Amino acid sequence: MDEPFGALDSQTRMLMQEQLLRLTQESAKTVVFVTHDIEEALLLGDRIYVCTARPGSVLAELDVPFSYPRDGSIRNSRQFGELKYQIFHLLRDHIHDQPRRSG
């Protein structure tokens, strides 16, 4: 799934995320989910691959430690906030390390 919730308003997006969690938990199917939203990756994923821009490569691989059944309430946990911070800084540091392009 490539950014399937990207164009939705925030309330609908949260409802769809929770629905996807229910469906994947009930069916035990594997879903490859692409998103630019760190919180969405942490909520829905079991493993997160943080990727670079051009040329695309894997910058980091992180296991998501939250057990199932899982719902949106994990967003309020300290561990969720710490992982979000860690991923954000991985991306930020990578961007700052890139050479600047001229004109």
Q: Which residues pair with 100 in a beta bridge?
A: none
> What does R_g of the chain's alpha carbons equal in angstroms?
15
In a domain, 103, yes or no: no
Q: Write down the pTM of the prediction.
A: 0.84
Residues 79-96 as b/e (b if ≥16 CB within 10 A, e otherwise) read: ebeebeeebeeebeeeee
DSSP string, 12-74: HHHHHHHHHHHHHHHH------B-S-HHHHHHH-SEEEEE-SSSP-EEEEEE----SS--GGG
Domain span at residue 78 reads 10-97
In a domain, 83, yes or no: yes
Q: How confident is the model at residue 42 (pLDDT cuts 50, 70, 90)?
A: very high
For 57-77, give the secondary structure using H, E and C. Answer: CEEEEEECCCCCCCCHHHHHC
The domain total for the chain is 1
Residue 101 predicted with pLDDT over 70: no
**For the chain, percent of residues with pLDDT exceeding 70:** 95
In a domain, 2, yes or no: no
Query: Would you give the end-to-end CA distance of the chain in angstroms?
Result: 35
